[in-house]
Amino acid sequence: MEKTVSKSGAFVFMVISLLFLFHPVTASAVYECAGQTDDCQCNASNPFPCDLGNCTWWAWHKICCTWGEEAARDIVYNWETPRDAHTWNDKAESSSVFTVSDTPAPGTVAVREAYSDNSYLGHVAWVESVSGSQITVTEMMWGVSFSGGYRTKTYNASHFDGGFISLNSGGMPPPNLSSPSDGAIGQLETLRLDWNDVSGATVYRVFISDSYECLNSLTNKDKTCYCCVENELSYSSFYDVPSGILDECTTYYWMVRAGNATDGSDNSAIWEFTTKDSSLATPSLSSPADGAIGQSETLRLDWGDVSGAEKYRVFVSESESCLTNLSNKDKTCDCCVINKEVFSSYYDVGSGDLDECTTYYWMVRAGNSCAGSHNSSVREFTTKGSALATPSLTYPLDEAAGQSVTPRLNWDSVTGSDKYRVFVSESESCLTNLSNKDKTCYCCDVNKEISLISEYTVESGYLDECTTYYWMVRAGSSCAGSNNSSVREFATRGSSLDTPALLSPSDGAADQSRTLRLDWRDVNGAESYRVFVSTSYSTLSNLSDTATGCSACVDNYVTFYSHRDVPTGRLSYDTTYYWMVRAGKSCAGSHNSSVRSFKTVPKPISTGSLKVTITPQEAITEGAQWRADGSTWRNSGYTESDLSVETHTVEFKTISGWKKPDNKAVVINEGQTTQVTGEYVPAPPCTKGDVNGDGRITPGDAVAAYELSKKFSLTDEERCVADYNEDDYVTPGDAVEIYEKSKEF
């Protein structure tokens, strides 16, 4: 009991205590106190007074009802001044019936001693349960009324500095329980209960109940237990629970008492275990995918719901072996960066838990109050780092033709990248539809990951000849990646064509017409020929087999025949020219032929003049002009002098909106001026590139223009719509420009 009193109060209390101490026990027995009665084996024998409540009345009542009348009588007859609560520990130590320990235990008397100034009279209480350093007691307080007569209160065990009184069992210690551990879950219904051997013990009594209070109410003398599911003797320091005694998914409490023919121990501590339910299915991990890279540091870990599961435990570690070494029972994980119990089938990783650019391993276990699953499989993911720059493609150039079927693809190195993924496909949309995360590509001809170097030579067998391909590259590292590069196009070449063999004129031929025919042998498989004519041998000899341009050439023409009639005006008199030919088709070409030379005829001595007049004035205003033999364009009324005495061709310039006059063959007479008139007439509207005349420019118009380029003679209308670059000729180059125009919206 706890109370601070004045000096006069203390004196009165001392007098009352002395009167009570020497008063006969039977005369001072108090049967009832604060609503509590001595209805157990001691009946009305409680010797302590009740002033609304008294800690010693309650402690003696619990001793008598728990340990028996013999123990209670020892306090009355053998203890001096037993009503002084602060002396109970000293009296108990001098008694053969009791023992005092510093360790609290359920079913003992807790003693708090008086302070040195004697203002505190001490206190005793009955220990109901112990949890770590906390003990729960029932107690009465002198002069204080509680509902029900007593109260239940939790203290720190150190509050009771006088120790804990227990009944002396004759020296045989209670068993120490060993397994299953206190609070264990997922136990078999036929588990083994195990404890340490007790010296001198020949038999043990095992109690199992689904009620803690049931076991806590048993004295160390009780042999029967109506609230127990099991109460059996064991002659070993373990007990195998038979089948059918315990239910699944249920919490049980158990304790053991040791004994022999003449002596017995106190009851052991009470431990708890929970039987398991039917095993839960193992969780199936869903995302991120195993081996996923570039993951957010706050990613969501997701798995399939497990039927019957109430919770899940998520483990994340930088070490795979850390997780694989965890058992299905482990709840702690010192090598984990995350060990969380969650109640949904996903877990959103919190900010700060993971580092960037790091590989992690994760797994999940399902559970409920009495059962658990096996650990799931272990998956791996890598958090992303800073994004890498997008690769810039360098070679081959976009739309490059005539490429090898084992081309070298090249791009600029990307800082921070240690690998690249190269995609090649016959379909442009195949590549443009790939995300920057995709590693697989079912529509690709090539899908290769290469390390460190920023180039890749396609192996033999992947690409076909004479085929258009599209390619792109993505940079990566162990934890980051770039966006996909732009998509480029290239076309592989076919088998090489034979080199054209030149026929005529013979090499070094002289006195050749300025409109001579250049002739060569047909090449098998060739679809076209490119003819080069120049006044410089080195100009031609330095041209590669794939060159198409030649600014120093007087003629650079693609023909679909194995000859070329040089147009009027291309060649000068008395000049040495060099020529060569190359065969080609849509995806292949030949080597350049040998270079031959010829010399044109000397300029004639006899000459005359030519004057051309153009009408009407409106056409002149719009730019109408004329020229002789492909020479310089002249205005209307201009007189061209020093023309050789022979037949010359007068050509009129094409101007928009007008139909030009047909070319005229004019004979120049010696010493005379020949007069020619050319009349332009308004032409119907012409849309450049709309060769089909359907009001729009499509790839079909390019095909039609290409076909017109094969013809030797075109109408003005055909030339108007097909001569897209307005150079007065319809060539395959016009078809290409029309095709490019058709791509525009």
3-state secondary structure labels for all residues of 414-427: CCCCCEEEEEEECC
Q: CA 619, CA 614: separation in Å to the nearest integer?
A: 8
Res 504: pLDDT: 97
pLDDT exceeding 70 applies to what percent of the chain? 93
Q: Which amino acid is at 731?
A: T
Range 210-222 average pLDDT: 92
The two three-digit tokens of residue 573, written as one number: 């008199």
Report the chain's terminal Cα–Cα distance, integer Å: 100
* Mean model confidence pLDDT for the chain: 87
pLDDT tier, 593 (very low <50, low <70, confident <90, very high otherwise): very high
Residue 682 pLDDT more than 70? yes
Give, in order, the Cα–Cα distances in Å from 513 to each of 581, 601, 632: 19, 6, 20
Classify residue 338 by its DSSP letter: E
Q: CA 86, CA 64: separation in Å to the nearest integer?
A: 20
Question: Among residues 354, 356, 321, which one has the least CA distance to residue 337?
Answer: 354
70-84, 99-113, 621-635, range with greatest mean pLDDT? 621-635
Q: Are the beta carbons of 566 and 533 closer than 8 angstroms?
A: yes
pLDDT tier, 237 (very low <50, low <70, confident <90, very high otherwise): very high
Residue 9 pLDDT more than 50? no
Range 580-600 average pLDDT: 92
pLDDT tens per residue across span 22-73: 333 333 467 778 777 767 766 667 788 887 668 888 888 888 888 877 777 7
Q: Which residues contact 93 (CB under 8 A, 6 or more apart)?
A: 99, 100
pLDDT tens per residue across span 709-718: 887 778 878 8
Res 24: pLDDT: 34
Res 260: pLDDT: 81
Question: Among residues 603, 612, 610, which one has the least CA distance to residue 672?
Answer: 610
Res 81: pLDDT: 64
pLDDT tens per residue across span 157-172: 999 998 999 877 656 8
* DSSP-assigned states of every residue in 433-447: T--TT----TT-SEE
The two three-digit tokens of residue 730, written as one number: 């319809």
Range 606-615 average pLDDT: 93
Residue 620 backbone phi and psi in degrees, to 5: -60, -45
pLDDT tier, 120 (very low <50, low <70, confident <90, very high otherwise): low
Helix or strand (DSSP H, E) at 26 = helix 25-28
Residue 739 backbone phi and psi in degrees, to 5: -65, -45
Q: CA 425, CA 428: separation in Å to the nearest integer?
A: 7
pLDDT tens per residue across span 502-524: 999 999 999 999 999 999 999 99
Classify residue 525 by its DSSP letter: T
Res 465: pLDDT: 87
Q: Are the beta carbons of 60 and 69 closer than 8 angstroms?
A: no
Res 2: pLDDT: 34
CA angle 473, 475, 480 (to 5 degrees): 145
Range 711-728 average pLDDT: 82
Whole-structure pTM value: 0.33
Helix or strand (DSSP H, E) at 598 = strand 596-600
Range 301-330 average pLDDT: 95
pLDDT tens per residue across span 318-345: 999 999 999 998 999 999 999 999 999 9
Comparing 369 with 109, the larger pLDDT belongs to 109
Comparing 5 with 739, the larger pLDDT belongs to 739
Q: CA 179, CA 23: separation in Å to the nearest integer?
A: 52
pLDDT tens per residue across span 460-495: 999 998 899 999 999 988 777 899 999 999 999 888
Comparing 69 with 127, the larger pLDDT belongs to 127
Range 639-664 average pLDDT: 90
Q: Are the beta carbons of 366 and 279 closer than 8 angstroms?
A: no
Taking the CA atoms of residue 70, residue 74, residue 75 and residue 80 in that order, the dihedral angle to the nearest 10 degrees is: 170
Of 257-266, 269-278, 464-473, which range is least confident? 257-266
Residue 173 CA to its chain's centroid (Å): 60
The two three-digit tokens of residue 77, written as one number: 């007859």
Comparing 425 with 693, the larger pLDDT belongs to 425
Structural domains of the chain, with CATH: 7-167 (3.90.1720.10), 177-275 (2.60.40.10), 285-383 (2.60.40.10), 393-492 (2.60.40.10), 502-600 (2.60.40.10), 607-682 (2.60.40.10), 699-742 (no CATH)
